[in-house]
Structure 1
Amino acid sequence: MTLTSIPIALTIAGSDSGGGAGIQADLRTFAFHRVHGASAITCVTAQNTLGVSRVDALPSAAVAAQIQAVVQDIGVQAAKTGMLLNQEIIATVSEQVAACKIVNLVVDPVMVSRTGAQLIDDSAIAVLRSHLIPQAAILTPNRYEAQLLSGLEILTLEDMQAASEKIFELGAKSVLVKGGGMSGELRGVDVWFDGNACETLTTQVVNTPHTHGTGCTLSAAIAANLALGKDLRSAVHLAKSYVTTALKYSLAIGKGQGPVGHFFPLLLSDS
Structure 2
Amino acid sequence: MQVKQVVTIAGIDSSGGAGVNADVKTFHNQKVYGATIITGLTAQNTYGVQAITTTPPDFILKQFDSVFSDLEISAAKTGALFSKEQVEAVIQGIKKYRPKHLVVDPVMVAKGGAKLLTDDAIEKVKIELFPLAELITPNLDETEVLVGYPVDTEEKIHQALFDLQAMGAANVLIKGGHLKGSKVIDSLLTANGSITTYTANRTNTKRTHGTGDTLSSYIVAHLAQNENLLDIMPKAKLFISKAIKEEINVGHGHGPLNHWIKG
TM-score by length of 2: 0.95
Output the amino acid matched with 1:263: W
Distance 1:83 1:29, change over 3 A: same
- Name whichever structure is richer in strand by fraction: 2
* Structure 1 residue ranges (4+ consecutive) displaced by more than 3 angstroms after TM superposition: 112-119
| 1:1-271 to 2 correspondences below 5 Å | 3=1, 5-113=2-110, 118-185=115-182, 187-195=183-191, 196-265=193-262
Per-residue deviation, 1:151: 2.3
Would the aligned equivalents of 1:114 and 1:181 in 2 still touch at CA under 8 Å?
Answer: no
Would the aligned equivalents of 2:48 and 2:112 in 1 still touch at CA under 8 Å?
Answer: no
Output the amino acid matched with 1:40: I
Residue correspondences, number: 262
The one-character-per-residue Cα deviations of 1:97-143 (angstroms, maximum 9, x if unpaired) are: 11101121010001245687753222111111111111011000010
Q: Secondary structure at the match of 2:69?
A: helix
Per-residue deviation, 1:252: 2.0
Per-residue deviation, 1:204: 2.8
Q: CA separation in 2, counterparts of 1:118 and 1:46?
A: 13
Would the aligned equivalents of 2:103 and 2:220 in 1 still touch at CA under 8 Å?
Answer: yes
Q: Secondary structure at the match of 1:73?
A: coil
Output the amino acid matched with 1:24: N
Q: CA separation in 1, counterparts of 2:169 and 2:74?
A: 18
Distance 1:159 1:112, change over 3 A: farther
Q: CA separation in 2, counterparts of 1:184 and 1:115?
A: 21
Output the amino acid matched with 2:222: N
Distance 1:147 1:200, change over 3 A: same
The one-character-per-residue Cα deviations of 1:139-166 (angstroms, maximum 9, x if unpaired) are: 0001011112122311111211111111
Identity of aligned residues (%): 38
Structure 2 regions of 5+ residues with no counterpart? none
Would the aligned equivalents of 1:82 and 1:109 in 2 still touch at CA under 8 Å?
Answer: yes
Would the aligned equivalents of 1:174 and 1:194 in 2 still touch at CA under 8 Å?
Answer: yes
Structure 1 regions of 5+ residues with no counterpart? none
